[in-house]
Amino acid sequence: MSASPRPTYDRPTLIRYDQVTRHIWGDEESGKVVDWIYVSSAKIHQLVFSLPFGGRFRHSENHRTIFAADELYYVISGTFVICNPESGEVHRVNSGEAVFFGRDTWHHGFNYGTEPLRVLEFFAPPPSQGTSSTYAKTKPNLKEFRYRQEEWIGKWPMAKSEVNNKFKMKVLRDSDTIWQIEGNHKHVLTGLILSTDQLTVGKVFLLPGQESEIEVHGGDESLYLLQGNLTISVEASGASPWYELKPGDGFYLPEGVRHQYQNISNEPAVALFGVAPHYLSR
């Protein structure tokens, strides 16, 4: 099976859903996963993956699911069950929720819903930095795994704080989001889902007719439109002045490019964004 493609761009780029790079990874032991790879720059990796009804992925000798990166999975549709087969922790993640884990975390995933599962993934540092399969091959293969933690029987929920401190995976629900109003004049609602020293992921909401102030980040930005219609204006040499996104489309912005979001439609627009490594302009 061929290596995962790495679509890379040298300027602000609109990535239409029907033009996204498709890829299938895995084998009979690990299971096979369908990927739509939007961006794989020198700083950030963004894709959507799908599992069919009853589908799952694990790991195998050739496909070891342990990486040297921060990863966030946001469930677009369906119900995702993710497991750490080394520790036995298991989490159920519903549509609109996310799960985060850092480097050196083994992970398996299952479609545990009644519809096809779609999950948006942000990954940084990206595979181009040797953090994915290249790194995984340096780790001993996990030969035995488990999906339960019997040590908490007779202690739950009294030991909840102790368990949470031991878990390597964190499920992030709406109540875990840090909400803020971006801009002094435009007042756009933004929710920060995750922010580490490697990766910041958030969600931006624009009401009909609303626009953001001009933004610039200290890292590459990769965006995915969940709902509505969104226009992105950019200030970059050789780039088109503005782009219009529909649900399922993505967008790439190199570090330092000044840009602005606008909603010129009559319905709300909701987008997920990832920025790596630094969200704030330096």
Per-residue pLDDT tens digits for 45-80: 999 999 999 999 999 999 999 999 999 999 999 999
- CATH number assigned to the domain covering 13-174: 2.60.120.10
Q: Are 25 and 51 in contact (CB under 8 A)?
A: no
Q: Concatenated DSSP letters for 212-275?
A: PPPB--SEEEEEEEEES-EEEEEE-TTS-SEEEE-TT-EEEE-TT-EEEEE--SSS-EEEEEEE
Query: What does the domain layout of the chain look like in residue ranges?
Result: 13-174, 176-277
- The reported pTM is 0.95
Report phi then psi at 110, rounded to 5: -135, 140
User: Which is nearest to 119 in space by CA: 33, 247, 28, 197?
Assistant: 33
Which sign, positive or negative, has the C-alpha torsion 168, 174, 178, 183? positive
Give the span between the Cα atoms of 149 and 114, in whole angstroms: 26
Residue 26 has pLDDT above 60, yes or no: yes
Residue 199 has pLDDT above 70, yes or no: yes
Residue 163 has pLDDT above 70, yes or no: yes
Give the span between the Cα atoms of 242 and 12, in whole angstroms: 10
Tokens of 60: 């195998």
Q: What is the pLDDT of residues 93-110, one digit of tens each?
A: 999 999 999 999 999 999
Beta bridge partners of 178: 192
Q: Is-same-fold flag (13-174; 176-277)?
A: yes
Give the span between the Cα atoms of 7 and 259, in whole angstroms: 21
Residue 132 buriedness (CB in 10 A; 0-12 / 13-18 / 19+): buried
Q: What is the pLDDT of residues 208-231, one digit of tens each?
A: 999 999 999 999 999 999 999 999
Reported as a pLDDT band with limits 50, 70 and 90, residue 131 is very high
Q: Which CATH architecture has domain 176-277?
A: Sandwich (2.60)
- Determine how many CB atoms are found less than 10 A away from the CB of residue 256: 13
pLDDT score, position 2: 62
